[in-house]
Structure 1
Amino acid sequence: MTEQQNRSDLDDDLAQMVIGLGPCTYLLLLLLGLVLLFPFLEGGIYARTLLGILFSIVLLVGTFAIKQTRRGFIFKLGLALLGVGLQWAALWTESLAILHVAGMTYAASLAVSFSGVFRYILKRGPITADKLHGALAGYIMLAIVWSFVYAMVEIVAAGSFGPGQLDFREPGTFFKLIYFSFTTLTTTGYGDVLPLTNHARSLVMIEEFSGVFYVSVVIARLAGLYPSTQVQ
């Protein structure tokens, strides 16, 4: 077999992996849909209801996406259901206190789902489409988890992020933190949202490090896609 044929076979295999389907594929599509639709679903009770449904589905799909032990599954499902319940309670009662608790539960649920996806993509075995999509889904989940962390910091210490005070009763406030988290994780740093206190800056530095670490580990794991070949 020639080197050109080897390369052609590898390209075909990679194309097949990219377009394949799996549980993490649906999780990735939901997360992308959440990011794209979020700005349109913050004003009005009906829009926020749709956003709540989408968030609820993300949590539940994240629970079922990865194979796990029975105990781990029960824990993840319980945490996800608690987050969903608190979210809907906050939505219908319009209670900021319940919403804050729901946010902490959401962050914990997404963090647990992220850890499961991260272990899954690092697991020994062939690289599949599901693992590739899981790597992308994990990256998005990591950014959203950090946005919840920043929201909790801002709630505890108002003025940690700016410019201007962030009011979570106003539509679009939380999405600003999601946007800030993505620009931080990717080290883009546009500078239109800023950490204004030292404790906020310390968390931002950790997120920057976690983003670089995640990408480097995933690249190292996926390097096996192109094994070295020898021309006979």
Structure 2
Amino acid sequence: MTHTNDKTESDEDLSQMIIGIGPCTYLLLLLIGLILVFPYLEEGILPRTLLGVLFSSVLLVGAFAGPQSQRGLILKLGLALLGIGLQWAALWTGNLATLNLAGIAYTASLAVSISGVLRYVLKRGRITADKLHGALAGYIMLAFAWAFIYALTELDAASSFGPALLDFTQPGTFFKLIYFSFTTLTTTGYGDIVPLTNHARSLVMIEEFTGVFYVGVLIARLAGLYPSPSPR
């Protein structure tokens, strides 16, 4: 009877940790939604505008995800607003130099947001649904950050990735790098997009072990945070 009760309580705890709602939950849902709708919002002014709104929302929600100090919030919000401003300037002017600056600002903003989310997730205390959702949101943001790094690399040195030339004036190009980043981070590696230069290969290797390290450390830390069942 005791074993049955323990299993029931364990199942209830697990369900509460999965279906709860918090700031990181909204960030996770926004990121997943962005991935799903991205292919449908690549052509035309209105769809691209909506895509810009979604990217801007990711930076803003990421800035407020998890508890933080006032100084940390100001830094995150400042980088987010800088990235958003440059993004909209690049969207309306079509200037590649502005797009390059926007990519740098986005990468920095995502990196700071990932750092804040991880500090929140790995903080000592009870594991909640919001922390689990933050862990997954951080992983997805990591893939997006690397996609921006690859885009900056390709803009700086054309044909760093292939086999076909990546033309950022054509719709769907950046989504290919997001896809490539996810397959690299998860070490799936389908091989349809590959790094062609040693510089690009070095970045890919760093992302590969970053993904493995993220998952390994996170699992170990969350396992350590999980409370042991109290003796009866």
Aligning the two structures, in what range does the TM-score lie when normalised by the shorter sequence? over 0.9
1:34 aligns to what? 34
| Aligned-pair CA distance for 1:225 | 7.0
1:47 aligns to what? 47
Q: Label 1:226 to 1:3 Cα distance change in 2 as closer, same or farther (>3 A).
A: farther
Look up the equivalent residue of 1:203 and give its one-letter code: L
Q: Name structure 1 gaps, 5 residues minimum.
A: none
Look up the equivalent residue of 2:180 and give its one-letter code: F
Instruction: State whether structure 2 residue 154 is matched by structure 1 residue 136.
Output: no
**Native 8 Å contact 2:80 2:109 kept in 1:** yes
Distance 1:52 1:231 in 2: 53
Q: Name structure 2 gaps, 5 residues minimum.
A: none
Instruction: State whether structure 2 residue 53 is matched by structure 1 residue 78.
Output: no
Instruction: State whether structure 2 residue 146 is matched by structure 1 residue 161.
Output: no
1:7 aligns to what? 7
2:113 aligns to what? 113
1:174 aligns to what? 174
Distance 1:106 1:171 in 2: 19
Q: Label 1:226 to 1:64 Cα distance change in 2 as closer, same or farther (>3 A).
A: closer
Distance 2:53 2:106 in 1: 13
Q: Label 1:149 to 1:128 Cα distance change in 2 as closer, same or farther (>3 A).
A: same
Distance 1:77 1:203 in 2: 28
**Native 8 Å contact 2:79 2:105 kept in 1:** yes
Q: Secondary structure at the match of 1:169?
A: coil
The count of residues paired between Structure 1 and Structure 2 equals 232
TM-score, normalising length from structure 2? 0.96
Look up the equivalent residue of 1:164 and give its one-letter code: A
Task: List, as ranges, runs of 4+ consecutive aligned residues in structure 1 with deviation greater than 4 Å.
Answer: 224-232
C-alpha offsets along residues 184-226 of structure 1, whole Å, 9 cap, x if unaligned?
0001111100011111111111101010111111111222576
Q: Label 1:3 to 1:202 Cα distance change in 2 as closer, same or farther (>3 A).
A: same
Look up the equivalent residue of 2:145 and give its one-letter code: V
Look up the equivalent residue of 2:43 and give its one-letter code: G
Distance 2:53 2:74 in 1: 21
1:65 aligns to what? 65
**Native 8 Å contact 1:162 1:196 kept in 2:** yes
Look up the equivalent residue of 2:67 and give its one-letter code: K
Q: How does 1:220-231 map to 2 (within 5 A)?
A: 220-224=220-224, 227-229=227-229
Instruction: State whether structure 2 residue 145 is matched by structure 1 residue 145.
Output: yes
2:17 aligns to what? 17
TM-score, normalising length from structure 1? 0.96
Distance 2:15 2:2 in 1: 20
| Aligned-pair CA distance for 1:142 | 0.3
1:192 aligns to what? 192
Q: How does 1:88-99 map to 2 (within 5 A)?
A: 88-99=88-99
**Range 22-31 or range 153-162, more displaced:** 153-162
Distance 1:36 1:214 in 2: 24
Distance 2:200 2:230 in 1: 51
| Aligned-pair CA distance for 1:2 | 1.9
**Native 8 Å contact 2:127 2:226 kept in 1:** no
| Aligned-pair CA distance for 1:65 | 1.0
**Native 8 Å contact 2:159 2:166 kept in 1:** yes
**Native 8 Å contact 1:163 1:194 kept in 2:** yes
**Range 216-225 or range 126-135, more displaced:** 216-225
**Native 8 Å contact 1:10 1:226 kept in 2:** no
**Native 8 Å contact 2:52 2:87 kept in 1:** yes
C-alpha offsets along residues 89-125 of structure 1, whole Å, 9 cap, x if unaligned?
1111121211111111011101100010111111000
Q: Percent identity at matched positions?
A: 73
**Native 8 Å contact 1:30 1:58 kept in 2:** yes
1:209 aligns to what? 209
* Bigger relative contact order, structure 1 or 2 (CA pairs below 8 A, ≥6 apart): 1
